[in-house]
Structure 1
Amino acid sequence: MSRATMTTPLPPLVPARLSGRDVVRTGLGGLRARPARVVLSALGIAIGIATMVAVIGISSSSKEDLMRRLDRLGTNLLTAKPGSTLFGEEARLPESAPAMVARIGPVTEVGALGTIETTVRRTDRIPDEITHGISVQAASTGLLATLDVPVRHGAWLNPATARYPGVVLGAEAARRLGFDRAGGRVWIGGRWFTVLGVLGPAELAPEVDRSALVGWEAAGTYLGFDGHPTTVYERSADDAVEDVRAVLGRTINPQNPEEVEVSRPSDALEARAAAAGAFTNLLLGLGAVALLVGGVGVANTMVISVLERRREIGLRRSLGATRGQVRVQFLAESLLLSALGGAAGIVLGTAVTVAFALYRGWPPVVPLWALGGALAATLAIGTMAGLYPAMRAARLAPTVALASV
């Protein structure tokens, strides 16, 4: 053998590269060695993610229900009520207010209520002081179509029955008086009135739910109603709502339009949706805190894992594993641990959302961006929680790691 052959330098040693599959298998191997600790650590992540997904899902389901109700009920309903005079006294709407509103071009439906100072009772034996919180109101025949309120049983007032002592009960008034169907009589203003019908819920006019509604003409004949409406309701074309709103006060009371208060009942539902969104942000903050606590638990688990596995780290380094490979191994374990908790949290949060929405009769809605955000938050927490333990494991020298066992 020649001297040249004996002195040929050996090629430099190149550490083997870890494929993505190898990284996952190594990370799963580390997790399988400590299943109880893994489950408890993942539980913290799962609770945080489940809270965030459920909060967003329940809020979205509630908003979707509100939006569907708004689409069904419409946002083109306006109400006009008496405001205050310049002297601070309560103003009155003119008797001609409903007829004047009906003359506005884009207006399609008009209805009116007029409060009557009397009580309604199941029998004449009940004292006048016991009213059950039910008001008696004169109602125009166009009220039901304007408010789009269903008749649960019986019939609504018509031009014939509106002249005689008959009454239609709102949903809450019927419940308090013990009526679930038409028929029977109630005592109003010193005489008997026949119950002609029972209404369903009036979502845009809750005052109707707590009222006993008498025909406009009958209220004047039998109960001394003065004919001045206390609330005028109107519906118009969707694209003309703001224009009608601008002229409604001047149309009802041309001399003193400032004494007329105009509002849109659908604004209350939209405000409720906005308030629910603000409350959702608060609950999301609580979910983020729970997720942060879960991340601290994962970091603690990984730090303890590094301390307990010094011999394994030293052995791998002695066999040629680089610092980067050790770092990737422990970072992969942290990410897999967080992903396990995140997946469980997404499933749990979605299940809670669906169950709660179905219980409340809402359409279940879990936005895709919420699931994507939950996954991104899980990976971010896993990265932050595993970065320090991975760097600490990579800094261990093989001889020190083996000698410390």
Structure 2
Amino acid sequence: MPPGERPAAEEGRIAVCSLSSRELLEPLSALPDVALAGTLMTANLGIEELVRTLACRPAIRTLVVCGRESPRFHAGQSLLALFRGGVDADCRRIRGAAGYLPVLPTVSLADVERVRSRVELVDALGECDVSVLRELVAKLGPREPPGAGPASREPAAVGAPKPAHGDGSGFRRLRAGGRRRGISGSLDGFVVISLDRRARRIVLRHYGSDLTPRHEMTGARAESMLLGLLNAGVISEPSHAGYLGGELTKAETALRLGLDYDQDLPLRAPRTRVPAVRPVRARKEIRAISDAPKTQLTLAEFCSAVVEGLGEQGTELDPNVPLGVQLSVDSARMIELAIVLEEELGLDLPSDVDLRRSSPLELYGAFAA
């Protein structure tokens, strides 16, 4: 059974794919109509393993796709595209897939068509509310799935819930995370925030990409400083405005409460050591993990995700060297990397982690554990 999959009642006729939402596996696999539940991280090896599993489980007639979609790897969209358009027999690429390397080189094309013709796909992409999904599965259980072939199949049939409206309260659910545009495209250069404790002021300095001083601002309140930056036209991109608002608020809080402040790191008590990522296993075990075959991400694929998260495409990383030694990137992109690791790959980073002091191997060891 592939990693991330939980067995459920053998008599069930429904499979659930929760994408990157691991927390959905336990409650959904316990439902009486669910035969198995599993995650899906990649648009290639992961989908291949899912197809093989469904192909050898003829009793399963319905696949519910739910949970958080990766905005980078698009495994969910690629799975929907597979059921909608199948695979190009020549290049083995999923037709219409937007995922990262959506190719199925090792799975049998006969198995792909067998699964597409037998299994009905229910599109609940983005839905993470267990109560909503439990109600959906309860509706699907008693009915007989239609016997339409692949040509007439549409993934969004059978009245799947609208993920944006979770509990009927009127609120539209939003997912944390996302990606900013490159800082060079919305702000010429970079911003450094520090504290002048003697004057009890926050100090913000804007430098050009060539380290030329551009602007300087001091203040005691985060809101007034952010408004000043917006009014002066120094920043215009909403995501960078949010980033600077968060950093200025941290700086104001540190100034008022006597906490240590370092840009892009969580607030902490004075003289608290900032660690690198803490591997949950010994280094020898991490190396063994990195050498073992995976159905999710290999160490090389993981390093590629790190490089893309930092906007350094084409760079080769040494797995054993801290990122801050190998790369010279701005603070905003380190935060984007943290978003990739936490929101897309599901890595539980320590709250006080300094990614610059962490090596790709240490991060991968924590990811694979």
TM-score by length of 2: 0.20
TM-score by length of 1: 0.18
Higher relative contact order (CA 8 A, sep 6+): 1
